[in-house]
Amino acid sequence: MSANALKLELPWVEKYRPHLLKDIVGNEETITRLQQIAQDGNMPHLIISGLPGIGKTTSVSCLAHELLGNAYSQAVLELNASDDRGIDVVRNQIKQFAQKKCSLPPGRHKIVILDEADSMTAGAQQALRRTMEIYSNTTRFAFACNQSNKIIEPLQSRCAILRYSKLQDDQVLRRLLEVIQAENVQYTNDGLEAIIFTAEGDMRQALNNLQSTVAGYGLVNGENVFKIVDSPHPLIVKRMLLAPSLDESLALFKELWNKGYSAVDIVTTCFRVTKNLDEIKEAVRLEMIREIGFAHMRILEGVGTYLQLAGMLAKISKVRGL
CB of 164 closer than 8 Å to CB of 54: yes
The whole-angstrom separation of Cα 67 and Cα 105 is 9
Which helix (DSSP H) or strand (DSSP E) does residue 220 occupy? strand 219-220
CB of 273 closer than 8 Å to CB of 238: yes
CB of 158 closer than 8 Å to CB of 121: no
Min dist. Cβ of residue 45 to ligand ATP (A): 18
Binders of ligand ATP in range 256-315 (CB under 6 A)? none
Site residue total, ligand ATP (CB under 6 A): 21
Q: Identity (one letter) of the amino acid at 99? A: Q
Min dist. Cβ of residue 108 to ligand ATP (A): 22
Min dist. Cβ of residue 154 to ligand ATP (A): 23
Contacts of 21 (CB under 8 A, 6+ apart): 31, 34, 35, 38, 59, 62, 63, 66
Min dist. Cβ of residue 266 to ligand ATP (A): 26
Pick the binder of ligand ATP from 45, 140, 175, 320 (CB under 6 A): 175
Binders of ligand ATP in range 21-50 (CB under 6 A)? 24-26
Contact between 316 and ligand ATP by CB under 6 A: the answer reads: no
Min dist. Cβ of residue 196 to ligand ATP (A): 14
Give the nearer residue to ligand ATP in terms of CB position, either 144 or 295. 144
Options 133-141, 202-210, 294-302, 304-312: segment touching ligand ATP (CB under 6 A): 202-210
Options 51-59, 102-110, 182-190, 250-258: segment touching ligand ATP (CB under 6 A): 51-59
Contacts of 87 (CB under 8 A, 6+ apart): 121, 123, 124, 127
- What residue ranges in 128-214 does DSSP mark as E strands? 139-145, 160-163, 186-187
Query: Which is nearest to 179 in space by CA: 20, 2, 13, 54?
Result: 13
Give the nearer residue to ligand ATP in terms of CB position, either 46 or 266. 46
Contact between 212 and ligand ATP by CB under 6 A: the answer reads: no
Contact between 18 and ligand ATP by CB under 6 A: the answer reads: yes
The whole-angstrom separation of Cα 16 and Cα 117 is 24
Contact between 110 and ligand ATP by CB under 6 A: the answer reads: no
Pick the binder of ligand ATP from 98, 203, 252, 316 (CB under 6 A): 203
- What residue ranges in 81-135 does DSSP mark as E strands? 110-114
Question: Which residues contribute to the site for ligand ATP (CB under 6 A)?
Answer: 13-14, 16-18, 24-26, 52-58, 144, 146, 175, 203-204, 207
